[in-house]
Amino acid sequence: MRYVSTRSSVGDRARLGFDDVLLGGLAGDGGLYVPEHVPKLPDCARPDSYAELAARIMGPYVGGTVDDDGLAELVADAYATFDHPEVCPLVALDDDHWLLELFHGPTFAFKDVALQVVARLFDHELERRDERAMIVAATSGDTGSAAMEAVAGRDRLDIVVLHPAGRTSEIQRRQMTTLEAPNVHAAAVDGTFDDCQDLVKAMFGDERFRTESRLAAVNSINWARVAAQIVYYVWAAQRLAGDRPVTFCVPTGNFGNVLAGHYARRMGLRIGRLLIASNTNDILSRLIETGELATHDVTPTLSPSMDIQISSNLERLLFELFDGDGAATAELLGQFRARGRARLTPQQHQRLAAEFFGDRLNDRETLEVMGRVRAEAQMFIDPHTAVGVGVAQRGRRPGELVVSLATAHPAKFPEAVARATGSPPPAPLALAAVADRAERCTSLPNDAEAVKDFVRSVRRD
Ligand SMILES: *Cc1c(COP(=O)(O)O)cnc(C)c1O
C-alpha cells in the first residue's frame, strides 16, 4: 500500500509507505496523505472479537510495517484497555435506531479507539528504527487526555500537551494532570486554546528544534487514526444488518470520524447514507446544502469538541471530488484560506450531496434530545452524541436502519446532562477516581522559548 499527498499531482508524486505516513503526519507539501488505492473489505465471516476484525481491516493499510501476527497482538493489547468486552458495543434506542458506543476506552471518549492503536504503532516503528519521538499537542479538551493515556508508559515516546489554563472543564484537566507516567507531561499555558495551537505550530516551524527534539504529532489528520476508525463501521454493520444497508449518523468536527465511514463505504460496506451532524458551527452541513465552503466565527456550544470551523480532514474528500488533482485541491483551499469562502462546481456539489446528508442542532435542541432520550429510553447521553441522535431522528426515512455514533460518555459532561435531565449521570469508577488523585501540571507563560525549554527539560534520551 502506497500513500500520496492531497496536494500532489498525478504525473509528479511521491508514493510513501505506511511507516513514513504514520511518523510524518502531514505531507511535506502541506497536504494530507491518502491511500493510492482503497482495498476491498476482507472476506470474513463474523469475527470473534473487535480486535480480530480491527487487525483484518487495518492489515492492508498498515501494509507490512507490522507483520500480521504483530498487528493482531498490538491491536489486542490496545483494546484490552477498554472496559467493555465488545469494545464498541451497540445499544438499542428503538427497533431501528442504535447507538454505537465508542466511549469505553481509558478517557471515555471516542478518540481512544484510534489513539490506543496509533501510539502502539508509533512505538513499534520507532523501535524498529531505533529512534525516539516527542509528541507535542495542544488541546481544548478530549484529544489531549486520550493522547496522553495512549502514550503513557510507551518506551520510545514522550508527550507534552498544552492546554489553556483555567479554560478546560475540571474533569478534562484532571484526566490530563493525574496520569502517573514518567513520559507524559501536562502544561497549563497562560492564554487561549488558539495561543496553545500557535505555540505548537511555532515548535514545528523551528526546524532546528523540531529535529533536535524529534517532534511528532498524532493529531486528527494522521492517516493511521482514520484507518483505525474504519473498523467500527464494519463492526456495527456486521453485528446488525444481515443484508440491510445501514445509515450512520456522525457527530462531526474535524471530519475525521465521518471520513472513516466514507472509506468503509469505498471498501464495499453497504452503507445507506452518511449523516453529518453539526452543532451551531455547521460549516459542513452548509457545504452539503449549498456547495459553498464559508467560515463563520466559532460559537462555543455544549458540544465543545465539535466547535470547529475549518474541518481539516475535509481536504481528503475534496481531493476525491477533484479526481485526485492535487493542484486543484490546493487552489480551492488557498482561496478558502485567503477569502473565507470557496465554491464547488455544480457537478462536485451533486456528487457530495449524493453521498452525504448534513443537518445541525443548536444547544436548546441538544438539551431537548438529551431529555427525551432519558425519558423514553432511560438512557443518559452526552451533548455530542445528542447532536447526532437529534439529526438522525429528524432526518430518518421510514424503514431506514440507523446507527448513531456515541462519541463521549455522559459522565464527561455532567453539567449539561443535569441541565437536560434533572440529574447528573452516574460516573464509571475510573472517571470518578480522577477527582481524588494528585495533580501534576506545569504552568507556562504564553511564550515559545519558554515552552521549548520545557520540552527540552522533560525529554528522555
Ligand atoms: C473529537 C470529537 C468529535 C468530533 O470528531 P471528528 O473526528 O473531529 O469529526 C465528536 N465528539 C467527541 C466527544 C469528540 O471528542
CA of 277 to the centre of ligand 1 (A): 11
Residue 67 pLDDT > 70 = yes
Closest CA to 64 of 27, 23, 17, 26: 17
Which residues span the domain enclosing 379?
86-108+223-421
**DSSP state letter for 306:** G
111 catalytically annotated: yes
> With contact defined as beta carbons under 8 Å apart, do 223 and 217 qualify?
no
In a domain, 434, yes or no: no
User: Strand 356-360 to strand 271-278: parallel, antiparallel, or no bridges (unpaired)?
Assistant: parallel
In a domain, 122, yes or no: no
Residue of 115, 257, 356 best suited for mutating to test ligand 1, as the one with most atoms within 8 Å of CB: 257
Residue of 384, 391, 431 best suited for mutating to test ligand 1, as the one with most atoms within 8 Å of CB: 384
Q: How far apart are CA 103 and CA 405, in angstroms?
A: 10
Q: Atom 8 (ligand 1): residue with closest C-alpha?
A: 254
Q: In the chain, what is the greatest distance between 2 CA atoms, to the nearest angstrom? A: 61
User: How confident is the model over 122-127, as a mean pLDDT?
Assistant: 97
Please tell me the number of Cα atoms within 13 Å of 89 on its side-chain side: 11
In a domain, 268, yes or no: yes
Ligand 1 atom closest to Cα of 385? Answer: 11
Catalytic one of 111, 201, 412, 452: 111
In a domain, 68, yes or no: no
In a domain, 338, yes or no: yes
Q: How far apart are CA 100 and CA 385, in angstroms?
A: 10
Grid cell digits, residue 427: 460516573
* Cell numbers 455530542: residue: 384
Per-residue pLDDT band for 26 (boundaries 50, 70, 90) equals: confident
What's the pTM? 0.96
CA of 155 to the centre of ligand 1 (A): 28
Question: 177-218 pLDDT, tens per residue?
Answer: 999 999 999 999 999 888 998 999 899 989 999 999 999 988
Q: How far apart are CA 241 and CA 258, in angstroms?
A: 19
> With contact defined as beta carbons under 8 Å apart, do 112 and 119 qualify?
no
Query: What CATH number does the domain containing 351 carry?
Result: 3.40.50.1100
CA of 90 to the centre of ligand 1 (A): 18
Q: At what angle do helices 314-321 and 256-266 cross, to 10 degrees?
A: 40
Q: How far is CA 411 from the centre of its chain?
A: 19
Per-residue pLDDT band for 45 (boundaries 50, 70, 90) equals: low
**Ligand 1 residue neighbourhood (C-beta within 6 Å):** 109-111, 142, 220, 251-257, 305-306, 384, 407-408
> With contact defined as beta carbons under 8 Å apart, do 458 and 158 qualify?
yes
CA of 369 to the centre of ligand 1 (A): 18
In a domain, 378, yes or no: yes
Per-residue pLDDT band for 311 (boundaries 50, 70, 90) equals: confident
Total of domains in the chain: 1
Ligand 1 atom closest to Cα of 255? Answer: 9
In a domain, 29, yes or no: no
Residue 44 pLDDT > 70 = no
CA of 418 to the centre of ligand 1 (A): 21
In a domain, 328, yes or no: yes
Mean pLDDT across the chain, nearest whole number?
A: 94
- Tell me the CA distances in angstroms from 174 to 169, 196, 402, 432, one per residue in order: 9, 18, 35, 10
